[in-house]
Amino acid sequence: MVLELDAKIPEGDLDTLWEKHKFDMKLVNPNNKRKFDVIVVGTGLAGASAAASLAELGYNVKAFTFHDSPRRAHSIAAQGGINAAKNYHGDGDSVFRLFYDTVKGGDYRSREENVYRLAEVSLNIIDQATAQGVPFAREYGGKLDNRSFGGAQVSRTFYARGQTGQQLLLGAYQSLARVVGLGQVEMHTRTEMLDVVVKDGRAVGIVTRNLITGEIESHSAHAVVLATGGYSNVYYLSTNAMACNATAIWRAHRRGAAFANPCYTQIHPTCIPSAEEFQSKLTLMSESLRNDGRIWVSKKAGDDRKANEIPENERDYYLERRYPAFGNLVPRDVASRNAEAMINEGKGVGPLKNGVYLDFADSIKRLGEDTIRERYGNLFEMYERITDENPYEVPMRIYPAPHYTMGGLWVDYHLMTNIPGLYAIGEANFSDHGANRLGASALMQGLADGYFVLPYTIGNYLAPMLGEPLVPTDDVAFTEVESEVTERTNHWLSIKGTRSADYFHRELGKIMIAHCGMSRNEAGLKQALIEIPALYEEFKKDVKVLGSAETFNQSLENVQRVDDYFQLAELMCLDALKREESCGGHCREESQTEDGEALRNDDDFAYVAAWEWTGDPGKAEVTKEPLDFKYVKLSQRSYK
C-alpha cells in the first residue's frame, strides 16, 4: 500500500506564508480550550516548551517523561549555542539568510516552507528565553553577545557559557513547573510511553509503564504529541545520554506513522575517542575547538612515536592540505569522513589508534596560553578529566561520534504525522534539517516547534472536535494495546538466556557504525541487512533479563529499547541502501565527485523517503514526497 502523504503546505509567498496561515487556521476559543485534553510525551526542550505553552493557552495537558524530572532531558547537554536571525551585530544576517544557510547546510533535502518558518520564529525564541531569565552571555554594554558557529559567515549564535542547552532547558522546565504548580499540567515522571493507541484512524491516547511500580496504564486524550528526542544510540556509542531511545517514535511507526529519512544521521567530528572496550558513551568536545586547533596525523602509517617526537615535516595536516580555503573548519561531515579515512589508512593516534590529533601548540604560540585558556579553559579541563592528558602540553585526540539524527517521524507543515491527532516535535521529527543539521540549530528547532508552531497548529485539528468525548480507557482500543504491552514486557523476563541486552546493543552498534556510519556502500549495507536480523534472532532467544516487571527494573527498561533499535537499525540500512546518492551526512561511496566529495543526484533523489511499517522492518515500503525548490538555488557544495 502506498501512503497518502499531504504535507499541507499553504499556497503563497514564502515571507508571509506562516503569518497568513496562522490567520487561516481554525481557532479554539479560550473558554473551550479546557474541554480538550492533550498528551505530551517527552519534556526536553521541545516537549517542555510545548506542554507549558499549551497549558498557558488553557488546554488540559498531561506530560510524561521517563526521567525523574523534566530537567534531566538530554537537551541539558547541549553546549555550543542556539541560532537566531536577530542581526544584533549588523553583519548582514536576516531571516532569509538563516533560511538559506539551513536549506543549503541540509544539502537541499528539506522543505523550504518549514525551514523559512523556523528562521522566522527564531527571533521570538531569544526574546522568550531571555524574559524567562536564561542567563545568555552579554557584552560590556549589557546587550546580548553572539558568536559564529559551525562555519556560518555571520555571528548569530546565542550562548550561555558552554551550557546553553542546560539554561534553555531550565527556562522551559521552569515555565512548565509553574503551570504544574498551578494544576494546569498533570506531570508524570518516571513513566515511559510504550505504545500509542489509535482508534478509527486517529491517535486517542497512549499506554505507559510506571518505572517504579511497573504498573501498565492507559491515558486518553484528544491529541498526542511526541517530543521524545533522537535515536543516535542505535550506534550504542554516541554523544547522547544513556537513556535516549527510539521506543516512542518506533512504536508510533508500528502503529502506522511514517518514518522519514531514517538514514540521515550526523556524526560529529570532535569527540573524545574510546579508551576501552567497556566504554559506555562518547563525550563531545565543542566544535569551536576547530577554530584554533590544527588537525593532523603522522604521514607514516603505524607510527608509534609520541606526538611531540614527530617532526613538523612528517606530519600531515590533511584538512589544510585537501581543503586550503576552509582548512580545519570544513563542515562536520567532511571532517568526520576524512578522520575515518586516516584511521583506515592505519594512521590513527593514541593507545587504541582510534583518533587524530587536534593540536593547539601553534595557537598557544601565537595567542598565548592565557587567551586559549579563556576561550577553551572548561573544555580543556573536561578533556583532562576524562583522558588524564593535558592539552596545553600534548595535542588532544579526537574522533567522530554519532551525535544527531535528522531522520524521524514524518510530519506535515502542522507537525502532525500521517496519523491524525499524532504530532511529533523536536529531534523526534524529520522536519527541518534535511540531510545535515547545522550547529546550534537543534535547540532552535526544538523550541520553535514547542513554543511557536505546535500551539497554533494543534488548534486547527482540535477545533472541529469540540464536544467529542474522550475515548474511555476501558474501550477495546486501549485494553488491547494494554495487554499487548503487558505481554511484551513480561516476555523478556521469560527468555532466561545467557547474555545481557547491553551485550547485544554493543554488537549491533558495531555493525551500524561499520556499515551505516560515516560512509556507506552497497555491499556493506547489504551485509548489514543480513547481519542485523541474524543478531536480532539471537537476541530474541538468548537475552537474559532478571528481576520482575512489578519493580524498578532498569534491565527491563533497557531490553525493550534495544529490541526497538534492532528494527530501526534495519530500516536505517534499507533507507541508506535505496538512497543511491550522497547528501549531507549520508555519504554513499559510489556517489562522489572526482575530488572525493559527496555527490548529490537531484534528478532522482530530491525527495523525502517516508517509510511505512509492513510487519518486517527489512521489507518496509517507501513513499516519496518530492521536494521542490523555488527560492534556493541548488548547488554542489565545495570547500576547496
Ligand X SMILES: Cc1cc2nc3c(=O)[nH]c(=O)nc-3n(C[C@H](O)[C@H](O)[C@H](O)COP(=O)(O)OP(=O)(O)OC[C@H]3O[C@@H](n4cnc5c(N)ncnc54)[C@H](O)[C@@H]3O)c2cc1C
**Residue 386 contacts which entry, other proteins, ligand X, none (Cβ below 5-8 A, type-dependent):** other proteins
- Between vectors from CA 174 to CA 219 and to CA 381, what angle results, nearest 5°? 115
79 binds ligand X (CB under 6 A): yes
455 binds ligand X (CB under 6 A): no
Spatial CB neighbours of 45, under 8 Å, sequence gap ≥ 6: 73, 75, 165, 168, 169, 172, 426, 443, 446, 447, 450
Q: Which of residues 54-73 bind ligand X (CB under 6 A)?
A: 64-67, 73
User: From CA 443, how far away is CA 441, in angstroms rounded?
Assistant: 6
**Residue 23 contacts which entry, other proteins, ligand X, none (Cβ below 5-8 A, type-dependent):** none
Among all chains, which residue has been given the C-alpha cell 505553552?
A: 53
How many C-alpha atoms does 484 have within 13 Å on its Cβ side? 15
244 binds ligand X (CB under 6 A): yes
400 binds ligand X (CB under 6 A): no
Among all chains, which residue has been given the C-alpha cell 576524512?
A: 338
Min dist. Cβ of residue 555 to other proteins (A):
6
240 binds ligand X (CB under 6 A): yes
The single residue among 185, 284, 335, 396 that binds ligand X, judged by CB under 6 A, is 284
User: From CA 400, how far away is CA 266, in angstroms rounded?
Assistant: 10
Size of the site for ligand X (CB under 6 A): 44
Spatial CB neighbours of 89, under 8 Å, sequence gap ≥ 6: 146, 154, 155
Min dist. Cβ of residue 237 to ligand X (A):
12
Read out DSSP for 337-356?
Answer: HHHHHHHHTT--BTTTT-BE
**Residue 212 contacts which entry, ligand X, other proteins, none (Cβ below 5-8 A, type-dependent):** other proteins
519 binds ligand X (CB under 6 A): no
User: From CA 305, how far away is CA 290, in angstroms rounded?
Assistant: 24
Residue type at 59?
A: Y
Return the range that interacts with ligand X (CB under 6 A); candidates 435-443, 528-536, 569-577, 629-637.
435-443
Return the range that interacts with ligand X (CB under 6 A); candidates 44-52, 321-329, 533-541, 571-579.
44-52
Min dist. Cβ of residue 256 to ligand X (A):
17
Given the residues 209, 332, 561, 637, select the one marked as catalytic. 332
Stretch 142-181: interaction string toward ligand X, x if CB under 6 A: ----------------------xx----------------
Please give the sequence-ordered ranges of beta strands (E in DSSP) within 360-433, or none if there are none. Answer: 396-405, 408-409, 422-424
CB nearer other proteins, residue 237 or residue 419: 237
Return the range that interacts with ligand X (CB under 6 A); candidates 97-105, 238-246, 300-308, 623-631.
238-246
Contact (CB, 8 A) for 419 and 198: yes
The single residue among 122, 228, 261, 582 that binds ligand X, judged by CB under 6 A, is 228
Residue type at 465?
A: M
CB nearer ligand X, residue 73 or residue 85: 73
Closest to 258 in 3D by CA, of 375, 486, 424: 424
Contact (CB, 8 A) for 123 and 149: no
**Residue 403 contacts which entry, other proteins, ligand X, none (Cβ below 5-8 A, type-dependent):** ligand X
184 binds ligand X (CB under 6 A): no
Note if 71 is an active site residue.
Answer: no
Min dist. Cβ of residue 57 to other proteins (A):
8
User: From CA 24, how far away is CA 383, in angstroms rounded?
Assistant: 52
Residue numbers annotated as active site: 332
